[in-house]
Each structure stands twice: as structure tokens, then as C-alpha cells.
Amino acid sequence: MVKQDEHAVRDSDGRTRLAKGVRGVVLGAVALATVAALVAPGRVGLAIQKAGGARLTGLGAYRPASTHRRALPAGGTAAIGALFTVASGGRGVGTHFCTASVVDSPAGDLVMTAAHCVSGLAPRQFDFVPGYHNGRAPFGVWRVTRVIVNEYWSSSANPDDDVAFLIVCRPGSTTGVQALTGAERLGTGQPARQLVRVIGYPDNAGAPISCLSRVHLFSPTQLEFDCGGYTSGTSGSPLLADISPVTGLGTVVGVIGGYQQGGTSASVSYAARLGANTAALYKTAIAGP
């Protein structure tokens, strides 16, 4: 059954699934069209939930999602924002479709999101709006000029590499986005079971939602975060640990994506664990073209 605020997509075998990625943007291997759905690549045979919800093959015990914890509307933070399509004619922004965050870099121009959010999108076809809130862009609109994804994602959409870095700039300005918003720290090789806060932008929402919960291992390479409300548009939302009570900035230990492109339920989200591949991708991103 399709849940409210989520959308149906079909795998190559015709089975209906749900995805938290983009709504209203097709991210094909060759072309981009602002239409209705995103085909979730998934990982064939990664796991099968048996009848009765008893177990996930190869991934440990299946745990029904808790219905007691749900994300609440939030004021957001400066370093987290929404990705927007570019409006017709290239003037202004269209609709937002995923979430992204500024991460610390030497040039101060680096943003992180899920690879499935931007696969097939060319630079300058979408924008990043940090701190977006009810139609306001307090830190401006930043054009994406470069998209960096891992070769394993490019070749096979491996859910363990569902991470992307974006280089952004603001026309007419030499100031990097990080100088205005601050930046989250990139945390690779982090332990599981950390307490994290996840801030994201559901489709059709003017403001972000936020939830504090503990992550645990869904598999050796995937994290699970249980909290209701994370529907379409929240892909790319950072899982933030060790948040400073002073700045509100923390350490990104994952972004919503990975298995099932972030999950088929609004109450259960997934994220690829950030390891050596992400560290190498970061080095590529900050090295320049």
C-alpha cells in the first residue's frame, strides 16, 4: 500500500516499491526530465523479508518500526538545506526534491547529499538553498557547478556508495557557502549505535523536520534510523552525531539513502556507512576538477 506523502516506483521486474528520493524528477542514466518517478536500483537479492515479517535474510532479525517516535517541525540549521530544480528559463528555483548539507572543506564550497538524488543531473541544472524555510533563502541560492559520485555508484548504483559531493557557488560572489553557514564535519569510520539528529525537507513542506534517535546496524555496511515522518524529499538528510550545543553543527555519519534509496517506510530510514570509499571521494572533491 502506498503511504501518504510517499510515491510508488517500479523495479525492472515490475514490482512496486517506495522510495524517499525525489518526486517530480527522473534521474536516468542519460537524460533528466522533470516528471514523476525515480526507478530505485536497490540491490538484487540483498534481503528478502519473509511472510509475517519475521526475518531479513543475511541481515539479522527484522524489527518492526517503533510508532512512538516521530519527527517534529524544526527551524532547521544554516548548514542544512534543500536541493531545488532550476525554474523554467533558468531564472529562480523550481521545486525542492532532496536534502543536502554543507561539509567542511578547504575552499568552503562543498555540499553533501545522496548520490541517487543527483545521478543523471548535470551541473547548473539544480540549486542548493541552505537554511531554506517557508519560501525564504536566508543564505542565498547556490548553483551546483560540479557533481562528484563514486565510480561504484556510477557503474552499478551500489547502495553502499549512495553518497555524492557537490561544488556550489553564487554568481557574482567570491565568498564560499561555508563562510556564511558554517559546516558539518565529515565522519568516516564512525561506530554504530550513536545518538544522531536528522534534519530533512519532505516534499511539499516549507520547513524541515527533525528527530533525535539512536542509529544501529541494519547490515555491516548500512545504518538504520527509526523515526516517523521521513517521506519523499528527505533523501540526502545528514545523520548528525556529536552536535555542538553552541553552533548546532555536528559530524555527518551518514546521509539518508543506501538500501532501498533510504527506505520504503516513512518510519524507517537507511544510510550507507561512511568508510574508505567516502573518504577517497571527499579527497577527489576537494582536489578540484
> Domain map of the chain by residue range?
80-183+278-287, 185-276
Look-up: residue for cell 546496524? 217
pLDDT for the residue 68: 58
Contact status, residue 161 vs residue 277, Cβ threshold 8 Å: yes
Q: Which grid coordinates belong to 113?
A: 547529499
Cβ contacts of 244 within 8 Å, gap of 6 or more: 250
Q: What dotted CATH number matches 185-276?
A: 2.40.10.10
> Is domain 80-183+278-287 classified as CATH 3.40.470.10?
no
Pick out the chain residues at pLDDT < 70.
1-68, 72-76
C-alpha cell at 107: 575552499
Instruction: Convert 248-260 to b/e letters by CB count within 10 Å (16 or more is b).
Output: bbbbbbbbbbbbb
**What is residue 266's predicted lDDT score, i.e. its pLDDT?**
95
Q: What is the pLDDT of residue 41?
A: 34
Q: Evaluate whether 80-183+278-287 and 185-276 have a shared fold.
A: yes
Cβ contact 108:130 at 8 Å: no
Q: Which residues pair with 207 in a beta bridge?
A: none
List the one residue out of 122, 142, 121 whose CA is nearest residue 131.
142
* Predicted pLDDT of residue 72: 65
Question: Letter for the amino acid at 49?
Answer: Q
pLDDT at residue number 218: 96
Q: Which helix (H) or strand (E) holds 185?
A: strand 185-186
Residue with cell 530510514: 269
Dihedral sign for Cα 16, 19, 24, 26, please: negative
